[in-house]
Structure 1
Amino acid sequence: MMEVAGPWTEVFDGSDRKEASEDGAQTLLSGSSLTLASSARRSQPILITSNRVKSVDSLSSSIPPIPNPFPELCSPSKSPVLISSLPPPSSDKHLVKVFGEDNQSRSVWVCVRATARDVCHMLVQTAHCSDQENWALLEVHPTIGLERCLEDHEVVLDVQATWSLKGDTRLVFRKNYAKYEFFRKPVLFFPETMISDSADVGKGMTSSQLIQNLLRSGTCPEIQGFLHVKEPNRKTWKKVYFFLRRSGLYCSTKGSSKEPRHLQYVAELEDLNVYTVVNSRKLYGAPADFTFCIKPSKNPVRVQDLKILCAENEQTRTCWTSAFRLFKHGKQLQCNYQLSKSAPHSLEGTNLTDGKSKSEASLVAMDFSGKAGGRVIQSPMEAQNAEREEGRAWRRREALRCSLPNLNSGARPSSIHKTQPWFHGGVSRKEAQRLIEKQGLVDGMFLIRDSQQHAQCFVLSLCYQLKTKHYLVIPCEDGGRKYFTMDDGLTLFIDLLQLVEFHQINRGILPVCLKHPCVCVAL
């Protein structure tokens, strides 16, 4: 029991109640208050009236406001973090997640009809890349080893709509110099031995002229040749003769016979996507590393739906995959190529320009030794001699500069190559080839790595004619100084940076000048 010292009044909300005291019973009918003489059986709830609320409001309004010490963190208009995390006001925007080559991802808001080219340009601006072209958005399936470069006109959200929700498919942002390389060097991509000798080939026309005419018209010559095909639901591979035509992909049931009764229809090109297969020997037991596959473009990726094919070499695989793209997209690919050539090669709002964007055909050899000024060297032999003489003069200047007594050896340390984007440390020979293949097998693509077989040596890996060649860079000493050489000491370089800069303008012993460094992009 609880004792009450004096009279106590309890307010009820219009209820009828009866209470009895210790001395006697007292009846209350429709009362709104109760007076207890000495005690109460239990405490009753107290209704907080609106008068108290108003008093609290008046109390809070009387307190002076406290100023916000960090207004920039609470203002969406001034906070880039909050802006990037909030969806755009337009309802037709969708969030797309894109991965870089360092496996880090970035999310961007894109519209419904945004193409792969649009997304690449957005990422170029975000990552502050040096140029706007030669970038690609790849569709990657890591578990089954499939990769495909999206065409510039493909709608990204339409591609994502075909993915399985339980899969690990992702979009990867990467350099790709070989998207339209077959337009620049068609004979290299379509060897004469693989062009079909069907009746529609123009008479009196060379293979090079035929390819040029077909590419200009937005089509491709018919391709034929042997490919290894993985038999369905089995681990074995079978060598089959295939034909790729505008009407579809066919295989011959009897050797290389083209007779209609021996041709078997395999697939229609309009509904197919062609993928490069990574690590095909381990995943599928392929007889070679030059594997690709085709699958229906509108269906989720399932291993049982894949038609896995394997070529004998990289040139053969590139020929087949390029022909698939040309037959499927036709004139659209040529439009994409022309659009990429006409696009500016500098970032918007900056003065950065791509010094390598000009075609080599627009550069001419000049002779400035005469008194009348410069003249264009017409003779190829004379131009080659001028290049060789310029290289000798450059070496003499560098040798003189390095022999000066006041040369500050610490101004350019020998480890300066470690800060360059073309240096990839201790990657293996196979991984170096894989890195160059990822960014496009174009002439002049290169990287430098540590040699795994020779201590204190380096290796220059260079792409030429769809093949990766490796050149050993050996350290040597001359006059008490350390140099690097690739031609047994004929040409000496004080560091790898000087070696790269020299071979970007002079071929030397290389088959082609260094043009495109193989770099890994981080978003």
Structure 2
Amino acid sequence: SVPFMLQDVKVFSEDGTSKVVEILADMTARDLCQLLVYKSHCVDDNSWTLVEHHPHLGLERCLEDHELIVQVESTMGSESKFLFRKNYAKYEFFKNPMNFFPEQMVAWCQQTNGSIPQSQILQNFLNSSSCPEIQGFLHVKEMGRKSWKKLYVCLRRSGLYCSTKGTSKEPRHLQLLADLEDSNIFSLIAGKKLYSAPAEYGFCIKPNRVRNETKELRLLCAEDEQSRTCWMTAFRLLKYGMLLYQNYRIPQQRKAMLPHFSTPVRSVSENSLVAMDFSGQIGRVIENPAGAQSAALEEGHAWRKRSTRMNILGSQSPLHPSTLSTVIHRTQHWFHGRISREESHRIIKQQGLVDGLFLLRDSQSNPKAFVLTLCHHQKIKHFQILPCEDDGQIFFSLDDGNTKFSDLIQLVEFYQLNKGVLPCKLKHHCIRVAL
């Protein structure tokens, strides 16, 4: 094939809008993401990803950054499509390997009674001459049948095996379930509904040649989110090894090479956020959260006094300030409007179960309230934000009025700096971009 042959690729966003992009035959998933970031004017923080989505099979996976779009598309059926989506968890295992590989699932931790430090797990995966192994019980769907069996399974470089005799890993008791070559690992969407999976933590090893037939899919189901993530991460590491590490390092190296003033003003890194006090004539940086909290409250009062004064003087603004503060959040990417609790779970899971991933939405039970949906330790938690009145003004609070904010933007900015009553600070917001 000639590398400069152009080809059209259609990419969908979460809201159903799509864009047709002309690409070269050697374009990678990362290249296409950067092109879409540029075309849709969103901030490039290297967490955008392309998703290979098979609605009829109930499968999806994030493409690795180095994969060639044209090659992947050639393995997709007519109903399948590419989605453009955030995934903050793409390389999280390089930052926090301890959270991804529970000791009881890593074979050599068991053999050495944990004498090998867990930090060495990643080196073992990346070193092609070592033989890492993940083990544990999984529900395995029998090929071509509806029934599932609970089996003891181990994942090695040579493939995924199940034991025909309890937890024995003797060669004569091991049976090959799936090959890692020429196949990819997918999350199961609606596994209970489509495949009668025993839990919602299903995943699947799909041979690349399979387009629409379900009978050749190797369907598996874990007991919880952490073990599903462990199996899927181990599969990616065994299949791609050092390539994954290079994918993870490239944007960081690129960032280090760029002069700091060339980065877009809009992408604010968490480290550059410091609490500022603007209540006096000169701003000051506040180091401790308690100081930040009182400063935020002082600043809130000062700001409110100014807005009331403006009001008395006869503000030219078409919107009354108190009206504005109750709707201003609708302009923010982190506000997702009238979505259900289930939908908020789905969005957070899709964009990566990392600490501090959040969104705000309208409350379903109280029409005047809002809900902060936040991920912490791979669990999703909900905090109700209630309006409260003080001195004829409406404020918002998620800690029973101890810390009050005149609008939701102030509230979000405060909890990005201070965790307050939350289990962790707000770090990444869920975002949907129209293409």
TM over 0.5: yes
1:394 corresponds in structure 2 to 296
2:281 corresponds in structure 1 to none
RMSD: 2.9
The residue identity in structure 1 corresponding to 2:234 is A
CA distance in 2, matches of 1:485, 1:448: 13
1:135 corresponds in structure 2 to 48
Contact 1:211 1:220 in 2 (8 A): no
Name which of 437, 443, 454 aligns with 2:349.
437
2:280 corresponds in structure 1 to none
1:406 corresponds in structure 2 to 309
The residue identity in structure 1 corresponding to 2:5 is D
Contact 1:227 1:242 in 2 (8 A): yes
Name which of 98, 108, 123 aligns with 2:11.
98
1:213 aligns with 2:213: no
CA distance in 2, matches of 1:395, 1:206: 46
1:310 aligns with 2:213: no
The residue identity in structure 2 corresponding to 1:110 is I
Q: Once the 2 structures are TM-superposed, how far is the Cα of residue 454 of structure 1 from its aligned partner?
A: 2.5
Q: What percent identity do the matched residue pairs reach? A: 48
Contact 1:177 1:442 in 2 (8 A): yes
1:267 aligns with 2:178: yes
2:64 corresponds in structure 1 to 151
CA distance in 1, matches of 2:107, 2:127: 18
1:490 corresponds in structure 2 to 402
Q: List runs of 5+ in structure 2 lacking aligned partners.
A: 277-283, 312-318
Give SS of 1:519's match: coil
1:512 aligns with 2:420: no
Are the structure 2 counterparts of residues 264 and 91 from structure 1 closer, same or farther at C-alpha, using a change threshold of 3 Å? Answer: closer
Contact 1:281 1:289 in 2 (8 A): yes
1:285 aligns with 2:196: yes
Are the structure 2 counterparts of residues 221 and 471 from structure 1 closer, same or farther at C-alpha, using a change threshold of 3 Å? Answer: farther
Contact 2:52 2:62 in 1 (8 A): yes
After superposition, the C-alpha distances for 1:113-167 in whole angstroms (9 at most, x for unaligned) are: 1111111111111111111521111111111211011111111111111223xx3
CA distance in 2, matches of 1:364, 1:270: 48
Q: Once the 2 structures are TM-superposed, how far is the Cα of residue 403 of structure 1 from its aligned partner?
A: 4.4
1:232 aligns with 2:143: yes
After superposition, the C-alpha distances for 1:293-329 in whole angstroms (9 at most, x for unaligned) are: 0011244342011111111111111111100000000
After superposition, the C-alpha distances for 1:146-193 in whole angstroms (9 at most, x for unaligned) are: 1011111111111111223xx301111111111111101111111112
Give SS of 2:409's match: helix
CA distance in 1, matches of 2:212, 2:167: 31
Give SS of 1:436's match: helix
Are the structure 2 counterparts of residues 120 and 243 from structure 1 closer, same or farther at C-alpha, using a change threshold of 3 Å? Answer: same
1:502 aligns with 2:382: no
After superposition, the C-alpha distances for 1:43-70 in whole angstroms (9 at most, x for unaligned) are: xxxxxxxxxxxxxxxxxxxxxxxxxxxx
Contact 2:100 2:226 in 1 (8 A): yes
CA distance in 2, matches of 1:314, 1:158: 30
Q: In the comparison of the two structures, how many residue pairs are matched? A: 413
Q: Once the 2 structures are TM-superposed, how far is the Cα of residue 364 of structure 1 from its aligned partner?
A: 10
Indicate the structure whose relative CO is greater, using CA pairs within 8 Å and at least 6 residues apart.
2
Are the structure 2 counterparts of residues 115 and 184 from structure 1 closer, same or farther at C-alpha, using a change threshold of 3 Å? Answer: same
Contact 1:220 1:323 in 2 (8 A): no
CA distance in 2, matches of 1:95, 1:444: 37
Are the structure 2 counterparts of residues 129 and 214 from structure 1 closer, same or farther at C-alpha, using a change threshold of 3 Å? Answer: same
CA distance in 1, matches of 2:5, 2:93: 37
Give SS of 1:430's match: helix
Contact 1:131 1:353 in 2 (8 A): no
Q: Once the 2 structures are TM-superposed, how far is the Cα of residue 232 of structure 1 from its aligned partner?
A: 2.4
TM-score by length of 2: 0.87
Q: List runs of 5+ in structure 1 lacking aligned partners.
A: 1-89, 367-373, 378-382
The residue identity in structure 2 corresponding to 1:509 is V
Are the structure 2 counterparts of residues 267 and 205 from structure 1 closer, same or farther at C-alpha, using a change threshold of 3 Å? Answer: same
CA distance in 1, matches of 2:392, 2:378: 41
Give SS of 2:396's match: strand
Deviates more, 1:492-501 or 1:293-302: 293-302
TM-score by length of 1: 0.73
The residue identity in structure 2 corresponding to 1:153 is H
Contact 2:126 2:241 in 1 (8 A): no
Structure 1 or 2, whichever has the larger Rg, is 1
Are the structure 2 counterparts of residues 353 and 211 from structure 1 closer, same or farther at C-alpha, using a change threshold of 3 Å? Answer: farther
